[in-house]
Structure 1
């Protein structure tokens, strides 16, 4: 993570410059500037309603900013023509709170559908890629199962594998354990730790799992009222935060 400048710095993968987003009379992102370097794992923390998930939804083009620019790997995401936006969007994968798997498809088909239709992979190539990812998330033996035959934790691991099947440069994680029973959380977080340690994928993560954030993050950003009020390494942010609001928030969640 780096301070923003008007001209993108070499190697920036994600860049928000003067981004404002409003819902009605409520400003959820307020002239936001930040950037993420390739291969970094950045975690966004802060109270509910502080704008963290809105950042991920903007990167997924599920929302549009009211002001400012967003770039991914030097490609303009906003403002941009729809064709340019689709191209930039291909570089981004997201895992949501809810699993959003196709219930009528097998686990394997859930992973191969988009690579075949969007990336133009052959079915054999997509299946080979999918099987490798299922092995990565510990579900190699469930390729022929339907999502309804899996536990919540297993479904979320399939959702992670499905996002990775598109070979994105950026993986967005939005409270991926919040819909899980407590005993299933550890398994999903362990998979994400393995991915963080064994791949060079860039991660932008929204989570209330502070131990997980401490383990996998290169940088932690504290949000409040649509702005980054403090940022730094996990060691600094969790052990010696400077901002009073950060100390209040961490005191409530740790």
Structure 2
């Protein structure tokens, strides 16, 4: 079961106050334009701008509370923005166009908009009463209208990809934490998303199980053209799979660049401080 959605009321403009629709973005698959997210007086994202290109693998690093996971939850529409616009595939995500202006999106629009996005959470969130096969095929069959035979074939392919072909008829309670997380990755991929969001996917695992999950993700990164947006404290993984690394601090991008630069020659003091603390702790 997915993490429960926020019950917070969206703080976007009403239809009467809605801004004119800006020009749609170019080829980038994700674009944040001046995005604000706050809880009361606590501003989590402060007019955030950033872009992700199709097929790009971007890792978000930074201290807890810097806004990294909030970005993923906004993209999954589990949270609502308080200002700005998020674009996915050239279309506004949390807004829809009406009469040349952007207004708050309704649930039907949101449901269609997030079909291109898959997410793997910290907790595995598998349905305990369903087999591994059923966990993977349920979404494609009921949400995408995929034929059951095709969904089963896809489940078998994905379980082979994550190294769990022999567990297709097992139940989650019969699996280790690392195996459950690999099933969760297969389940997300079964929906054939263009964008895969990864939120600290190894944080709930025992240390000896982390390597297997990260190896699966490395293999996916190397063998597919899926766009990946990853939040992690596993710096070696970030260095291995990323095209670009963004260092977050206080709701803004403090520094960004290719992994070799960020990890080998960071320019900002805040990045240096964070990496020193993480690597010493590790």
User: By the TM > 0.5 criterion, same fold?
Assistant: yes
Shift of 1:236: 0.4
Taking the TM superposition and a 5 Å limit, the aligned residue runs for 1:122-133 are 122-133=147-158
Q: Indicate whether 1:75 and 2:91 are aligned.
A: yes
Q: CA RMSD in A?
A: 0.9
> Helix, strand or coil for the counterpart of 1:188?
helix
2:255 paired residue number = 230
Q: Is the 8 A contact 1:77 1:88 kept in 2?
A: yes
1:248 paired residue number = 273
Structure 2 regions of 5+ residues with no counterpart?
A: 1-21, 97-104
**Residues 220 and 133 of structure 1: CA distance in aligned 2, closer, same or farther (over 3 Å):** same
TM-score, with structure 1 as normaliser: 0.96
1:149 paired residue number = 174
> Helix, strand or coil for the counterpart of 1:231?
strand
1:135 to 131, 140, 160: 160
Question: Using the alignment, how far apart are the partners of 2:95 and 2:145 within structure 1?
Answer: 27
Alignment length (residue pairs): 249
**Residues 9 and 76 of structure 1: CA distance in aligned 2, closer, same or farther (over 3 Å):** closer
* CA offsets 1:36-84 (integer angstroms, 9 cap, x no match): 0000000000000000000000000000000000011112112232222
1:57 paired residue number = 73
Question: Using the alignment, how far apart are the partners of 1:198 and 1:18 within structure 2?
Answer: 34
Q: Is the 8 A contact 1:8 1:15 kept in 2?
A: no
Structure 1 regions of 5+ residues with no counterpart?
A: 1-5
Shift of 1:195: 0.1
1:20 paired residue number = 36
TM-score, with structure 2 as normaliser: 0.87
1:209 paired residue number = 234
Shift of 1:10: 2.5
Report which of the two structures shows the higher radius of gyration computed on alpha carbons. 2
Q: Indicate whether 1:182 and 2:207 are aligned.
A: yes
> More deviation in 91-100 or 71-80?
71-80
